[in-house]
């Protein structure tokens, strides 16, 4: 039988805390380390939908990419969505672990998987730390690759019908960066690294204008799509590491943004 502590210790090794951003809140956020775990659900975010799935299926541990709670909590009441979710999960004795930006930057983390999924070579972090890991990734693609072709690869890898693009699809994209989620702040680092293109989950209108001004083509698949696939990979990693557990990625959670 495994405990919350066993799972947390593995996740700390898989996505070490030192890789998390300073502002982040990662690790075991809710729960008792001594409790036994038989069922684990991964998800991108704890929402009323994913929490209901976890409670219905009697999950012992949720591994959520986005932290809950994220900000310091001064009252724990049902007056807010976060408070209600926390009260429900605690009542159901469900622990919550979040690797968040440590998972973004980990050796087998989201950005590394995005970079390999796109076919980048000589992959390196955009903001390297002393130990050779760090935020974002960049690398090289086959000579002659255009921004439009890179967009097609991304759509194929993430199983998307469409995405947003900044820049002419014919422009070269042989050096490209990836940064999942709302990572527009890494645009300057990508530009400094000489990237002609960058994949960002989502970013602001003004960052799109800045990318255009810098001559960096942007591909924006959406925050959900840029990270959800990795939550499914994480469920596979946990299933492989802990074969006697029942492990799955939330089947109920969905992108709240719809194309209409």
Contact positions vs Zn ion (CB under 5 A): 181, 227
Q: Which is nearer to Zn ion, 227 or 253 (CB)?
A: 227
Q: Which is nearer to Zn ion, 53 or 227 (CB)?
A: 227
To Zn ion, the closest distance from the beta carbon of 135 in angstroms equals: 13
To Zn ion, the closest distance from the beta carbon of 98 in angstroms equals: 11
Question: How far is residue 97's CA from residue 176's CA, in Å, rounded to a whole number?
Answer: 32
Q: Which is nearer to Zn ion, 111 or 196 (CB)?
A: 111
φ and ψ at 240, to 5 degrees?
-70, -40
Number of Cβ within 10 Å of residue 206's Cβ equals 9
To Zn ion, the closest distance from the beta carbon of 181 in angstroms equals: 3
Question: How far is residue 64's CA from residue 27's CA, in Å, rounded to a whole number?
Answer: 10
Q: Which is nearer to Zn ion, 185 or 241 (CB)?
A: 185
Question: How far is residue 193's CA from residue 184's CA, in Å, rounded to a whole number?
Answer: 15
Residue nearest to Zn ion (CB): 181
Question: How far is residue 150's CA from residue 169's CA, in Å, rounded to a whole number?
Answer: 9
Question: How far is residue 11's CA from residue 30's CA, in Å, rounded to a whole number?
Answer: 15
To Zn ion, the closest distance from the beta carbon of 148 in angstroms equals: 26
Q: Which is nearer to Zn ion, 61 or 230 (CB)?
A: 230
To Zn ion, the closest distance from the beta carbon of 29 in angstroms equals: 16
- Residue 91 zone, left/alpha/beta (φ > 0; ψ -120 to 50; rest): alpha
């Amino acid at each position: 039988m495994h405990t919350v502590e066993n799972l947390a210790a593995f996740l700390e090794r898989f996505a070490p805390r030192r890789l998390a951003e300073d502002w982040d809140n990662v690790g075991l956020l809710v729960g008792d380390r001594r409790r036994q775990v038989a069922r684990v659900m991964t998800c991108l975010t704890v929402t009323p939908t994913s929490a209901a799935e976890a409670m219905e299926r009697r999950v012992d541990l949720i591994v959520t990419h986005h932290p809950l709670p994220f900000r310091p909590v001064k009252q724990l009441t049902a007056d807010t969505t976060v408070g209600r979710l926390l009260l429900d999960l605690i009542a159901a004795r469900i622990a919550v672990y979040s690797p968040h930006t440590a998972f973004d930057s980990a050796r087998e983390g989201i950005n590394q998987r995005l970079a390999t999924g796109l076919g980048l070579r000589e992959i390196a972090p955009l903001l390297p730390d002393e130990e050779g890991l760090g935020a974002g990734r960049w690398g090289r693609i086959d000579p002659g690759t255009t921004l439009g072709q890179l967009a097609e690869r991304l759509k194929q890898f993430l199983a998307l019908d469409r995405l947003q693009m900044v820049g002419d699809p014919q422009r070269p994209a042989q050096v490209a960066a990836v940064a999942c989620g709302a990572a527009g702040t890494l645009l300057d680092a990508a530009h400094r690294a000489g990237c002609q293109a960058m994949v960002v989950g989502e970013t602001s209108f003004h960052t799109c204008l800045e990318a255009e001004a810098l001559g960096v083509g942007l591909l924006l698949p959406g925050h959900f799509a840029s990270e959800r696939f990795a939550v499914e990979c994480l469920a596979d990693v946990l299933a492989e590491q802990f074969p006697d557990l029942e492990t799955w990625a939330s089947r109920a959670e969905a992108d709240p943004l719809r194309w209409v």
